[in-house]
């Protein structure tokens, strides 16, 4: 049933590239009610667990509220004068190539536009790159090679209209949950619709799929080369469409010579997939980071595109290749020139006519003459002293870049570092010379583009706190102070958007597809009221799919099939580093957690960093479930909690990339990732480093809860928010001499009333602190990982809890277990008990009994897995 409540302010979710619409209502206390916008074409009212919890993340705790220079608060005038003068001096002394901007898919298009104009048109270099380089640069490069433009041909409806959806390197269920739910709902209506997952891991997206192809890591190109050969052998090439495509014969020849590449899949699995793909006309191949984040990512993308071009299955209802982007405005960044090798509006830096057109449109003193430094190159240049002034905007490269420890050192060593962000509490912000307070989601006005070319407004529902300013405004002010007053004399984001739309009209006249010139004449009111729309929007064309007409954007108007061969990952497994190391995301966290870690219910899903490894590998290494393990690569090391699961292939391990120096300093997993990049796209290979895994021998393990933030000093710690305060996992290399003193230091409670159970001989300690009859904090420690009811204990701080030291709930208060459903706060134990007591046999029945899975649906794959595990156990009994 459609939600017909009034939508006070319509905006867009700031997390993934699905770009879901939200309705915002601010309350008098500065809070925000967030619900799905029933009219938004990306989500029609649905939100995933992250989007549903947005209201919990807008508080001002930890916000940067004033400019800061050298650690001291100052005013905008002083801070911006310093930034502008240091950039000018650096350029004067060392040239425009000595400065760099590293920006983010969190930026709105208007912010991006000003940053790009400042760097490429006025500073005159192209050293601006976005963290989207880490996410989908290989798709950009693959699209450009095949289509002559970076364009997603179809729209989200195609995922529902397809008869076969293939997910390649995409855990859509966790990373783009609203899209995944759209597919599941379509399958419910049309059970004949098939879902295939291609992924070395058995992820949540595999629950309910018709086929899971657990290929060997990195062999996607070989798999799709095999598909191309099978298409040819089956006579399924669309000979009419291929007249619009160059390179068919060479591409088929390259694919044929790849027939012996080992995917790790059986002949039966391969032919079942190939037969299904070939005989199903309406097929959408969705791909994401598992394809992109590879030293052969661009080739993998082209291997997929080749199959769609050969069959003409592109740009028609229910057919086409479909890249899904990671960030809310990764697509906007691609369109507006946020990448070091692109101009705005799909104009190309390498093209002299395009450069001249932009130069003339901006009336700028110069224009960058060629591509600038891509992300990995930029931080390498900073480390080597070639970049001397660096502006990092809304991103945390000291955590998220490959070889993150080296990047952290490069930022620390750079002569002048400016960071614009909403908080000073990130690993990167702590290294800045100048910190600039920016407005956050919920306070900003602008636009974003989702994965299917839908441009939507983000709107402000909350006032800017303290001295925070929008990014476009900060960037424009620096441009003015650097001497380019008129070029950056913007009064509103609407003005910037209209200039951008007008520039896209120039691009349209040059034959480019990104043309939104139909939006170039808006006033502030029209911009404010602007409804979501698919680009292009020009006099000639409004929205729609691309390429079914055989019109492409290479100079000859044709597409190109690109001959590719399988190339193994750059890093080679060897006795010293025997495991293939894959990094990725978890359901309820986003990037480096600067926003999602504020939500207790999101933190409750998986509260600690972990390493997934196969039970057989673990047994060989003497590692048990829940042990701590040391993970070491040639680049760095980490300590993580081991989870044994046959969802991993033997020899492969997986760790999420969210934890930071703020939340778990031993678990900065990108410090382990080699800074190896795809030679075409410059995207790092974040899913195929090599590591060694050994058991971490701790002298003691602990679990702690507290009503306020803790100050851990132990060799290992990981902390997370709870509704009652904080929880932390701890481990130390040496037993503390004085457990009570250790606990008092951990909690910052020098004088609180204490209750202790300490057995020094056995290394056991249980210590609780109370005040006025309420529990303030408690520590449980022992020589082994402590067996206490964590989810129950996490609820106790601030309550009367005289028996806290038992570590167990009383009989009348069952432990709900680890959180599964974030929306209705339903834990694993509650679900297991309901399955057993009520004989539940389906996810819908669990929903009817407990509400779990009935709101955002993000946990439905986990509910299905829980059901499957109970049914397996029953069968084995």
Which residues in this chain contact ligand SF4 in the complex, by CB under 6 A? 13, 15-16, 18-20, 43, 47-48, 50-51, 176-178
Give dist(CA 197, CA 215) in Å, integer. 10
The nearest distance, CB 324 to ligand SF4, in angstroms, is 10
The nearest distance, CB 52 to ligand SF4, in angstroms, is 7
**Nearer Cβ to ligand SF4 (450/569):** 450
The nearest distance, CB 11 to ligand SF4, in angstroms, is 11
Would you say 587 and 602 are in contact if contact means Cβ atoms under 8 Å apart? no
The nearest distance, CB 534 to ligand SF4, in angstroms, is 17
As given in the structure block, the two tokens for residue 236 are: 């399924």
The nearest distance, CB 868 to ligand SF4, in angstroms, is 24
Q: Which of these, 776, 768, 778, 762, lies nearest to 730 by C-alpha position?
A: 778
Q: Distance of alpha carbon 339 from its chain centroid, rounded?
A: 17
**Nearer Cβ to ligand SF4 (20/418):** 20
**Nearer Cβ to ligand SF4 (292/458):** 458
**Nearer Cβ to ligand SF4 (16/864):** 16
**Nearer Cβ to ligand SF4 (454/852):** 454
**Nearer Cβ to ligand SF4 (17/142):** 17
The nearest distance, CB 396 to ligand SF4, in angstroms, is 18
The nearest distance, CB 393 to ligand SF4, in angstroms, is 21
**Nearer Cβ to ligand SF4 (52/139):** 52
Q: Which of these, 563, 575, 628, 332, lies nearest to 455 by C-alpha position?
A: 332
User: What sign has the CA pseudo-torsion 293, 295, 298, 303?
Assistant: negative
User: Could you tell me the end-to-end alpha-carbon distance of the chain, in angstroms, rounded to an integer?
Assistant: 42
The nearest distance, CB 28 to ligand SF4, in angstroms, is 26
Q: Is 665 helix (H, G, I), strand (E, B) or coil?
A: helix
Give dist(CA 858, CA 179) in Å, integer. 10
**Nearer Cβ to ligand SF4 (428/822):** 822
**Nearer Cβ to ligand SF4 (20/278):** 20
Any residues with CB less than 8 A from the CB of 713 and at least 6 apart, and which? 745, 746
Q: Is 307 helix (H, G, I), strand (E, B) or coil?
A: helix
The nearest distance, CB 131 to ligand SF4, in angstroms, is 17
**Nearer Cβ to ligand SF4 (50/519):** 50
The nearest distance, CB 856 to ligand SF4, in angstroms, is 8
Q: Is 669 helix (H, G, I), strand (E, B) or coil?
A: helix
The nearest distance, CB 134 to ligand SF4, in angstroms, is 18
Report the residue closest to ligand SF4, judged by CB.
Answer: 51
DSSP secondary structure, 333-381, as one string: HHHHT-STTB-GGG-BTT-HHHHHHHHHHHT-S----S----HHHHHHH
The nearest distance, CB 565 to ligand SF4, in angstroms, is 35
**Nearer Cβ to ligand SF4 (43/795):** 43
**Nearer Cβ to ligand SF4 (68/598):** 598
**For 324, how many CA atoms within 13 A lie in the half-sphere containing its CB?**
30
Element (DSSP H or E) covering residue 527: helix 524-529
**Nearer Cβ to ligand SF4 (48/498):** 48
Give dist(CA 692, CA 639) in Å, integer. 12
The answer to whether the bond into 536 is cis (omega within 30° of 0) is: yes
As given in the structure block, the two tokens for residue 549 are: 């007409």
The nearest distance, CB 15 to ligand SF4, in angstroms, is 3
Greatest C-alpha distance within the chain: 82
DSSP secondary structure, 59-77, as one string: --TTB--S-EETTEE--HH
- What pairs with residue 571 in β-bridges? none
The nearest distance, CB 179 to ligand SF4, in angstroms, is 7
The nearest distance, CB 3 to ligand SF4, in angstroms, is 15
Would you say 406 and 395 are in contact if contact means Cβ atoms under 8 Å apart? no
Instruction: Go through 95-105 and write b for each residue having 16 or more CB atoms within 10 A of its CB, e for each that does not.
Output: ebbbbbbbbbb
Q: Distance of alpha carbon 808 from its chain centroid, rounded?
A: 36
Q: Is 25 helix (H, G, I), strand (E, B) or coil?
A: strand
Any residues with CB less than 8 A from the CB of 383 and at least 6 apart, and which? 406, 407, 409, 410, 413
The nearest distance, CB 814 to ligand SF4, in angstroms, is 31
Q: Which of these, 533, 24, 530, 595, lies nearest to 327 by C-alpha position?
A: 595
**Nearer Cβ to ligand SF4 (152/223):** 152
**Nearer Cβ to ligand SF4 (422/768):** 422
Write the CA distances from 531 to 26, 39, 325, 505, 708, integer angstroms: 21, 10, 21, 20, 43
Give dist(CA 403, CA 635) in Å, integer. 6
3-state secondary structure 595-610: CHHHCHHHHCCCCCCE
Element (DSSP H or E) covering residue 471: helix 471-481
**Nearer Cβ to ligand SF4 (448/618):** 448
Instruction: Go through 57-67 and write b for each residue having 16 or more CB atoms within 10 A of its CB, e for each that does not.
Output: bbeeeebbbbb
């Amino acid at each position: 049933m459609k939600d017909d409540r009034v939508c006070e302010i319509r905006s867009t979710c700031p997390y993934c590239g699905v770009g879901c619409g939200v309705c915002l209502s601010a309350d008098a206390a500065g809070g925000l009610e967030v619900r799905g916008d029933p009219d938004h074409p990306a989500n029609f009212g649905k939100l995933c667990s992250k989007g549903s919890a947005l209201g919990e993340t807008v508080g001002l705790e930890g916000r940067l509220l004033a400019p800061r220079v050298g650690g001291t608060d100052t005013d905008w005038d002083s801070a911006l004068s310093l930034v502008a003068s240091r950039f000018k001096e650096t350029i004067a002394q060392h040239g425009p190539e000595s400065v760099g901007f590293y920006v983010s898919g969190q930026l709105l298009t208007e912010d991006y536009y000003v940053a790009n104009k400042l760097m490429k048109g006025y500073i005159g270099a192209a050293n601006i790159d976005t963290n989207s380089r880490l996410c989908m640069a290989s798709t950009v490069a693959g699209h450009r090679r095949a289509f002559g433009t970076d364009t997603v041909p179809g729209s989200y409806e195609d995922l529902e209209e397809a008869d076969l959806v293939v997910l390649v390197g995409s855990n859509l269920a966790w990373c783009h949950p609203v899209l995944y739910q759209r597919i599941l709902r379509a399958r419910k209506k049309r059970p004949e619709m098939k879902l295939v997952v291609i992924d070395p891991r058995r992820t949540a997206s595999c629950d309910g799929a018709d086929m899971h192809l657990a290929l060997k890591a990195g062999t996607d190109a070989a798999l799709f080369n095999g598909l191309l050969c099978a298409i040819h052998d089956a006579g399924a090439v669309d000979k009419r469409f291929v007249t619009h495509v160059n390179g068919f014969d060479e591409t088929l020849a390259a694919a044929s010579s790849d027939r012996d590449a080992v995917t790790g899949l059986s002949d039966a699995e391969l032919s079942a997939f190939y037969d299904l793909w070939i005989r199903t006309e309406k097929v959408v191949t969705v791909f994401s980071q598992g394809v992109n984040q590879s030293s052969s990512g661009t080739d993998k993308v082209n291997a997929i595109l080749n199959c769609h071009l050969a069959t003409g299955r592109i740009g028609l209802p229910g057919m086409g290749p479909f890249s899904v982007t990671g960030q809310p405005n990764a697509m906007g960044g691609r369109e507006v020139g946020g990448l070091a090798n692109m101009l705005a509006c799909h104009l190309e830096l390498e093209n002299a006519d395009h450069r001249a057109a932009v130069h003339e449109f901006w009336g700028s003193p110069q224009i960058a003459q060629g591509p600038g430094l891509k992300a990995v190159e930029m931080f390498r240049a900073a480390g080597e002293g070639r970049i001397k002034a660096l502006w990092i905007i809304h991103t945390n490269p000291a955590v998220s870049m490959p070889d993150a420890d080296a990047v952290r050192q490069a930022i620390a060593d750079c002569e002048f570092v400016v960071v614009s962000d909403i908080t000073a509490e990130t690993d990167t912000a702590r290294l800045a010379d100048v910190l600039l307070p920016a407005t956050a989601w919920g306070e900003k006005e602008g636009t974003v583009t989702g994965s299917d070319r839908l441009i939507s407004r983000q709107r402000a529902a909350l006032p800017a706190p303290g001295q925070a300013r929008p990014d476009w405004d900060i960037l424009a002010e620096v441009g003015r102070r650097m001497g380019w007053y008129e070029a950056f004399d913007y009064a509103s984001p609407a003005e910037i958007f209209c200039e951008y739309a007008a520039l896209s009209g120039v691009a349209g006249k040059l034959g480019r597809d990104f043309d939104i010139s139909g939006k170039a004449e808006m006033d502030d009111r029209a911009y404010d009221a602007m409804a979501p729309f698919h680009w292009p929007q020009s006099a000639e064309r409004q929205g729609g799919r691309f390429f079914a007409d055989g019109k492409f954007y290479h100079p000859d108007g044709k597409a190109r099939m690109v001959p590719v061969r399988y190339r193994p990952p750059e890093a080679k497994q060897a006795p010293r580093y025997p495991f293939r190391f894959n990094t990725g995301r978890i359901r309820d966290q986003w990037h480096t957690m600067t926003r999602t870690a504020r939500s207790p219910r999101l933190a409750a899903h998986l509260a600690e960093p972990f390493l997934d490894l196969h039970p057989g590998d673990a047994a060989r290494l003497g590692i048990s479930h829940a042990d701590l393990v040391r993970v070491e690569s040639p680049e760095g090391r980490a300590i993580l909690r081991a989870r044994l699961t046959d969802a991993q292939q033997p020899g492969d391990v997986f760790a999420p990339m969210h934890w930071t120096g703020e939340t778990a300093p031993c678990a900065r997993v990108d410090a382990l990732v080699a800074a190896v990049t795809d030679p075409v796209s410059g995207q790092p290979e974040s899913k195929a480093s090599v590591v060694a895994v050994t058991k971490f021998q701790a002298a003691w393990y602990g679990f702690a809860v507290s009503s306020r933030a803790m100050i851990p000093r132990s060799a290992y710690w990981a902390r997370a928010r709870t509704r009652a305060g904080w929880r932390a996992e701890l481990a130390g290399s040496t037993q503390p001499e004085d457990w009570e003193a250790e606990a008092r230091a951990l909690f910052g409670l020098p004088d609180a009333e204490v209750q202790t159970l300490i057995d020094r001989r056995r290394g056991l300690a249980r210590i609780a602190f109370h005040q006025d009859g309420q529990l303030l904090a408690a520590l449980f420690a022992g020589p082994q990982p402590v067996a206490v009811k964590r989810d129950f204990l996490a609820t106790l701080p601030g309550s009367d809890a005289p028996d806290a030291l038992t570590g167990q709930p009383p009989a009348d208060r069952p432990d709900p277990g680890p959180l599964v459903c974030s929306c209705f706060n339903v834990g694993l134990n509650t679900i297991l008990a309901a399955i057993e007591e009520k004989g539940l046999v389906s996810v819908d029945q669990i929903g009817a009994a407990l509400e779990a899975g009935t709101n955002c649906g993000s946990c439905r794959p986990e509910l299905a897995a829980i059901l499957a595990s109970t049914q397996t156990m029953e069968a084995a009994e």
